[in-house]
């Protein structure tokens, strides 16, 4: 791929803008040598304005999503993409969230521009577990763990029972819930079916990948070890 198209597809600017950047010497190799538009320098050795290029397509990142942000590129209000570099929003292939968290849910949220990886994570066949922590409006009844684990629980408006889920009681109004599927507002609807209401909800882990070292509102790129943890 020509250097101009490569950098433009990463979101650094239009092809015309990248051509201008190359003419001004803003695109170099790691030794500081100016690169021409037809350069065949390896991706990892290219600098744009003295900084390494963003990863090539196949990028996966983890965001610690705060409450109040919507998983969308077009909705009004604060969007999860506002927490990432502006250029990430216009990468080609597009950088998409892997699943969603509703506006009032915080925690682990993955992004990728790799469609194959995205579908592997969300596929029911992968059975990637997700752990949530919920703060409830009223004390737990005591039978929630058995109900959620039964494999017989039906949500209103659906005709297929939920897969068994594991509940860990933290205190009378707090619990951790491990899901093995991802239905619309599933955690909130499960507790609503028991007569309770979720006041606060956070996703702690996706598979074996947690938020260690990622502060709220911050993100980090994942390497192959991180990605393997999701399925491990």
Q: What residues act catalytically?
A: 102
Q: Please tell me the distance from the alpha carbon of residue 176 to that of residue 75, in angstroms, as a whole number.
A: 30
Closest CA to 185 of 203, 207, 159, 164: 203
203, 101 Cβ separation under 8 angstroms: yes
Residues 6 or more apart from 33 whose CB is under 8 A from it?
A: none
Q: Please tell me the distance from the alpha carbon of residue 143 to that of residue 148, in angstroms, as a whole number.
A: 9
128, 206 Cβ separation under 8 angstroms: yes
Give me the torsion for CA of 146, 150, 155, 159, rounded to 10°.
-170
């Amino acid at each position: 791929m020509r250097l101009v198209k490569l950098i433009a597809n990463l979101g650094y600017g239009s092809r015309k803008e990248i051509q201008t950047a190359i003419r001004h010497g803003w695109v170099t190799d790691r030794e500081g040598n100016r690169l021409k538009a037809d350069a065949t320098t390896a991706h990892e050795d290219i600098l744009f304005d003295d900084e390494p290029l963003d990863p090539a397509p196949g990028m996966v990142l983890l965001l610690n999503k705060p409450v109040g942000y919507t998983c969308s590129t077009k909705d009004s209000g604060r969007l999860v993409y506002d927490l990432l570099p502006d250029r990430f929003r216009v990468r080609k292939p597009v950088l998409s969230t892997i699943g969603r968290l509703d506006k009032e849910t915080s925690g682990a949220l993955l992004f990728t521009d790799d469609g194959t990886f995205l579908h592997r994570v969300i596929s029911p066949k992968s059975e990637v577990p997700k752990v949530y922590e919920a703060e409830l409006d009223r004390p737990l009844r005591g039978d929630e763990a058995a109900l959620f684990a039964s494999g017989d629980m039906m949500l209103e408006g659906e005709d297929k029972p939920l897969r068994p889920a594991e509940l860990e009681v933290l205190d009378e109004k707090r619990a951790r819930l491990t899901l093995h599927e991802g239905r619309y507002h599933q955690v909130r609807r499960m507790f609503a079916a028991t007569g309770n209401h979720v006041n606060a909800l956070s996703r702690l882990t996706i598979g074996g990948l947690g938020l260690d070292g990622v502060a709220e509102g911050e993100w980090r790129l994942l390497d192959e070890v991180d990605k393997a943890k999701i399925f491990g």
